[in-house]
Amino acid sequence: MAFYFMIPLFASIFFIFLFNFLLNLFKSKKSRDLPLPPGTLGWPYIGETFQLYSQNPNVFFASKQKRYGSIFKTHILGCPCVMISSPEAAKFVLVTKSHLFKPTFPASKERMLGKQAIFFSQGQYHAKLRKLVLRAFVPEAVKSFVSNIESIAKDSLQSLEGRLITTFQEMKTYTFNVALLSIFGEDEVKYREDLKRCYYILEKGYNSMPINIPGTLFNKSMKARKELAQILAKIISTRRETKQEYNDLLGSFMGDKEGLTDEQIADNIIGVIFAARDTTASVLTWIIKYLGENPSVLQAVTDEQEAIVKGKEKCGEEQTLSWADTKKMPITSRVIQETLRVASILSFTFREAVADVEYEGYLIPKGWKVLPLFRNIHHSPEIFPDPEKFDPSRFEVVPKPNTFMPFGNGTHSCPGNELAKLEIMVLLHHLTTKYRWSMVGTNSGIQYGPFALPQNGLPIRLIRKS
């Protein structure tokens, strides 16, 4: 008798399976009927990588957009790609349908940063990591860093007085020290040199081929990463023994009630150093270049910063910056925004379609990379008139949604943007009130490695004001 009762159950399961099969078959056929976006894929495997990297990448992107519109296909770095260059498409990929597009990086970078870093995660694990990072980088937490960041900024500038320097390299040192401060708090002083030595070896292999044999950049970098993880394990172990509470990022990771593993913590610490260092250093380098080329803007910033100094003198206050002081810098803030727009340090970001996706009648196949082109959006004359002109006053009006995305957009936008803006403002305060600088050599060119930078990292000579 039991067998006869099972027949309707099996029949129901069969029809459900058949319905889902036919539905997926219909969806698959519908997807296959959709055309791919316009564009060319170039040579087998090589694709159009050479066309992209043999010239200013922005020329490649702009020429493609002009020919095919705001969505087009190409093939770079061994991967078929769909590139998008409209605010609406960027919102679709990064916000509205973000669950259909996972973050992705080149294989070498993923292995060096660590597969459990926040950049490569989705779903609940990503939400958990983001919450922990934000807890350490919200304005309320960042406020406590002001005096320490100011000390690092003053020491950095003082060490450069009277010297011919490569701006980008010196800004990398400054932002690295600030990153360590935000991650390890006062502990960073004890381990700074060892962390710096290992990380500087590690970063050289970020864009190398993932060939792990002795003598290769990748092999050297992976050895440095292993040693870096050992140093981090030592710091974590020491903190566990003291049972003291810490308000820095490592403290936030270790204080998670559900418990991150030491490996997960290490992956995310290394990832945050990567995210916090080169990008902010690049922005500072461009700001110094643009201020040097625009005397009226430099004067406006200097006047604003000197007003803060004079206000403290008038009230008999100590000449140290406070969080409240950083809110008295609207002109400086607009300079930062305009630099982020014009330079577009993050020219694009990588996503990967986790399923076949339809957008505006085109098929984005599963497994294809999708690149929102931030720079194309930031340099659109329809959105920002005369886009090549450096004009901070354009930010007196708030940009329209999804047109200004220097820190990305959606759940994977940069959680450390408050810290980045703070360290930029603090350094600019002391740079403009105490120093003057002159650019050396030809500075009209741009180099890419991988971020856009002034030629030769912007050589300048820094002189203290009398």
Give the pair of three-digit tokens for residue 354.
Answer: 């986790």
Tally Cβ neighbours within 10 Å of residue 113.
25
Alpha-helical runs (H) found in 185-261: 188-203, 217-242, 249-254
The DSSP code for 185 is G
- DSSP H helices, 316-329, are 323-326
User: Does 414 carry a binding-site annotation?
Assistant: yes
Can you say whether the dihedral through the CA atoms of 189, 187, 201, 152 is positive or negative? Answer: negative
Q: Which amino acid is at 367?
A: G
Nearest CA to 344 out of 289, 298, 282, 300 is that of: 282
Rounded Cα–Cα distance for residues 246 and 187 (Å): 10
In DSSP notation, 404-416 reads: --BTB-GGGS-TT
The sign of the torsion formed by the CA atoms of 205, 208, 213, 216 equals negative
CA distance 190 to 212: 31
Q: Summarize the annotated binding site for heme as residue ranges.
A: 414
Q: Summarize the annotated binding site as residue ranges.
A: 414
